[in-house]
Amino acid sequence: MKTVFAYAKPYKIPIIFALFLMLLELTVELMQPLVIAKIIDDGILEGDQDRIVQYGIVLMALSFIALVSGIVNSYYAAHVSQSFSFDLRKAVYGKIQSFSLATFNKFPASGLITRLTSDVTLVQQILFMGLRIMLRAPLLVVGSMIMALVVNAKLAIYLVLVFPFLLAFLYFMVLKGVRYFSFVQQRLDRLNRMIQENLQAVRLIKAYLRGKYEANRFSEVADSLKIDTVKAFRIMETILPILLFGMNLSLLAVLWFGASHIQANGAQIGELVAIVNYAMRMTGAFSMFSFIIMAFARSKASSERIEEILLAENVLEKDGQGKQAAVENGSVVFENVSFSYPGTSAQVLKDISFEIKPNEKLAIMGATGSGKSSLLQLIPRFYDATEGSVRIHGIDVQEWSLPALRKSIGIVPQQSILFTGTISDNLSWGKDKAVQDELEDAAMKAQIHDTVEHFPKAYDTRVGQKGVNLSGGQKQRLSIARALVREPSILILDDSTSALDVKTEAALWEELDRERATMLVVTQKIRTAMKADRILLLEEGEVSAYGTHNELLEASALYRQIALSQQEEEVDEYV
């Protein structure tokens, strides 16, 4: 909890002020039974009207102080806890943004969402309660007990006797609560993951008529959340009755022995009333305990989950403090590169070597799962090679400063990803402060300008979530335009023209030919590969062939086979 609550440090002064007000409210509250005892013993029993009025005024003043301190304390508690949760959420989000892919893969996206939303809210609530009642309740219990001892130790001893038992019971319940509520948050993660997956796959679910099946799966997961939540709350709800039972027993003892004390020793009735009053306040404070313990248990589980994020180590992202300048027309060299995904033993790339000179194009081909995307991910350092070295412009990628390295790379991923916003917003995402002319220029090169111009709002057309209102080919071309806006020295296209028709693709390649950029292009089409300076053919993570189209036609049986099958397909298309 230490790491999480360190975010409350900037609010030290308002916290101290809120705690001071809480103590003031508490002190005043503890003094009230004493004054009531005085009214009874020195006023009512003595028949002294003036005393009754004097003490009455004191009682009123104390109540007023308690009221004002309570209101101001609530104001500060709300302000501090909201500001704290805002800072904490920002820090967790920032940390997630800084994650390397290896670290990111350790946490499912749904779990990260739960941590950013529900977990942060629960921790915020505990801070609010901390400033309002969390300390106040135990202090009220201890304070009432001390005051009762001061008033009449012989009677108050019955309140003291029950105290250690209740304390041990509460400690046990906290431990139990933390465990159960951490299950609840895990179930919530699972539910979020399911909702996320379902909403993303809504078209597929409809197409496969799996609505009912998915609804049943959802019910199962929601049910397990309900069962665990009920279990956790059921345990927590036993706290209050047990506490009240213990307190009522001791109160009964106070009244029983108090009555005999008054008869035998002439003890004051006011004292007995004061002790009963303190016992009632203790009972009230104890009843807050069940509430506090539940909140504490939940927020402890949540703060541990948040800490997992804040303390997660980002091994890869340790920035090589090296070169700061942008890569200029970068050459790309892979030298005996092997790679396994973190936490796995299987090598997905084995001893890969090739070189691309500045402004050259490399086409990467290979069957599905042969390691094409994995190879590309090593260039912007999404992952680091396990063996060998990847060099950009002659310098190992690990020695580059990460921002400098990534700034000069334009990536078009296999799956086009667009954000909610206008087309202009999406294009300028590739480069800060890009002007409209730059956006249109990139869109022209990517063969999407004319299409955009035909939209009623042209570049101000809003793209729905994930680009739902655009076709696959339009999304691909917008993704390419976004990468081109960046004017990258290295352009990476991971099978990003698969949805384009032959004519559009040819026009796109003509434009890309004119770009001053080193290109790595994953493709399944010989037609596209032929346009590259060299072709790298991968087979199960190994280089099966490397050279120009003509060299490969001669040297590689696999390449000849692919070329032949595609020729036949193309002939078939026209028959």
Ligand X SMILES: Nc1ncnc2c1ncn2[C@@H]1O[C@H](COP(=O)(O)OP(=O)(O)OP(=O)(O)O)[C@@H](O)[C@H]1O
Closest approach of ligand X to the CB of residue 372, in Å = 4
Of the pair 151, 348, the CB lying nearest ligand X is at: 348
C-alpha dist (Å) from residue 482 to 122, 358, 505, 512:
39, 22, 17, 14
Record the tokens describing residue 186, joined without a space: 């895990």
State the Cα torsion 413-418-419-423 to the nearest 10°. Answer: 130
Least distance to ligand X, CB of residue 537, Å: 11
- Nearest distance in Å: CB 115, ligand X: 21
Toward ligand X, which CB reaches closer, 273 or 529? Answer: 529
Q: Could you give the C-alpha distances from 524 to 327, 370, 374, 458, 468, in angstroms and in order?
A: 28, 12, 16, 33, 26
DSSP 348: S
Distance of CA 256 to the CA centre of its chain: 56
State the nearest-atom distance from the C-beta of 573 to ligand X, in Å.
23
Minimum separation from the CB atom of position 341 to ligand X (A): 3
Got the DSSP string for 530-571? TTSSEEEEEETTEEEEEE-HHHHHHH-HHHHHHHHHHHHHHH
Q: How far is the CB of 451 from ligand X (least distance, A)?
A: 27
Query: Min. distance of Cβ 536 from ligand X in angstroms?
Result: 12
For 413, the token pair is: 């991923």
CA distance 112 to 370: 31
Residues 6+ apart with CB under 8 A from 110: 189, 190, 192, 193, 194, 195, 196
CA distance 288 to 26: 15
Nearer to ligand X, 84 or 334 (CB): 334
Q: How far is the CB of 100 from ligand X (least distance, A)?
A: 12
Nearest to 316 by CA among 406, 245, 249, 231: 406
What are the phi and psi torsion angles at 340 (to 5°)?
-125, 145
Amino acid (one-letter) located at 155: L
Please, what is the minimum distance in Å from the beta carbon of residue 96 to ligand X? 17
How much is the CA Rg of the chain, to the nearest whole Å? 35
Q: Which DSSP letter does residue 326 get? A: P
CB closer to ligand X, 55 vs 354: 354
Cα distance between residue 60 and residue 66, in whole Å: 10
| CA–CA separation, 504 and 509 (whole Å) | 9
Q: How many residues does the chain have?
A: 575
Which value, to the nearest 10 degrees, does the dihedral of the CA atoms of residues 224, 227, 229, 233 take?
-170
**Which residue, 70 or 366, has its beta carbon nearer to ligand X?**
366
Q: Which is nearer to ligand X, 431 or 475 (by Cβ)? A: 475
Enter the tokens of residue 11.
């609010």
Q: Which residue, 351 or 425, has its beta carbon nearer to ligand X? A: 351
Closest to ligand X by CB, 21 vs 378, is 378
Q: Measured at the alpha carbon of residue 297, what is the angle toward residues 295 and 301, in degrees to the nearest 5?
A: 115
Closer to ligand X by Cβ: residue 118 or 544: 544
Specify the residue, 265 or 344, whose C-beta has the smaller distance to ligand X: 344
Q: Shortest approach of ligand X to residue 556 CB, angstroms?
A: 17
- Residue numbers at the binding site for ligand X (CB under 6 A): 105, 341, 344, 348, 366, 368-374, 414
